[in-house]
Amino acid sequence: MKHLFSDWDKLRSKIYNSPRVFLLFDYDGTLSPIAPSPSEAKFPSTVKGLIRRLRRNSKFALAIISGRSMKDIKKMVGLKGITYIGNHGLEIEGRNTEFLGSRFHAFIKKIESALYREVKHTKGAKIEHKGVTLSLHYRLVKNRDKALIKRKFYRIVRPFVYSGKVRISAGKQVLEVRPNIEWDKGSAVTWLLKRKRGQILPLYFGDDVTDIDAFRAIKGKGISVFVGNSRKSVNADYFLRDPKEVEKFIKRLVEL
């Protein structure tokens, strides 16, 4: 993988000569440095200022993508007039795009209320509603009640699994319900690109395994940039070392 700045002249003319450029940035570890806890991963004000300036130029379309929920990522970034993609692509909101996740809200809501009725008296059980996904955390539930809480969860969710609406995934002391579709950051990027009229050059920046699907989705159509160690075997066109370098890149675009 080449460092992006080592190929800057070539890239600059490519961007300069493209009528429209679609910039897609992952949030954590790409625009914002990784923090000890998710709520501490503040959006650097300098980057926010630069993105604001890019937004004024109609040549650029902007999107910020994250594994966070839509509500969370919008709160962290706090910018209007850009596209937001939350929940690893399951939620998309922005200019000229419908809210993709709304298709799933109804039955996730149904599961939530049923689950709430069952577990509300169990101390330590926590339901987390991330828009289109739902998690039941039972880490803080008394050991002797854990099996029961899991049984209740499966009893409620199973009919939705059988009808093909949702799937269940189990993590560390957490059970999660998500829509039963093959959908990742790559699918979200493809979905968005199909809705852009005319010729547009996509550039995708990401630091995580979940971003690799997006790198694949724009292969041959645009430019993928991995943020992190160049020795990692990631199939991207270029790399930048850290969020600081991503900021430098955005600054170069502003000055273009």
Chain residues in the site for Mg ion (CB under 5 A): 26, 28-29, 207-208
Residue 176 or residue 207: which is nearer to Mg ion going by CB? 207
Sheet containing 238-240: order of strands:
2-3, 238-240, 223-227, 201-206, 21-26, 60-65, 83-86, 91-93
* Residue facing Mg ion at closest CB distance: 29
Could you tell me the smallest distance in angstroms from the CB atom of residue 32 to Mg ion?
9
Bridge partner list, 170: 175
Residue 65 or residue 82: which is nearer to Mg ion going by CB? 65
Could you tell me the smallest distance in angstroms from the CB atom of residue 28 to Mg ion?
4
Could you tell me the smallest distance in angstroms from the CB atom of residue 179 to Mg ion?
22
Could you tell me the smallest distance in angstroms from the CB atom of residue 229 to Mg ion?
14
Calculate ∠ Cα 131-135-138, nearest 5°: 155
Residue 118 or residue 211: which is nearer to Mg ion going by CB? 211
Residue 27 or residue 183: which is nearer to Mg ion going by CB? 27
Could you tell me the smallest distance in angstroms from the CB atom of residue 30 to Mg ion?
5
Instruction: Assess contact for 207 and 232: CB atoms under 8 A.
Output: no
Could you tell me the smallest distance in angstroms from the CB atom of residue 156 to Mg ion?
32
Residue 67 or residue 202: which is nearer to Mg ion going by CB? 67
Structure tokens at 141: 């539930």
Residue 29 or residue 89: which is nearer to Mg ion going by CB? 29
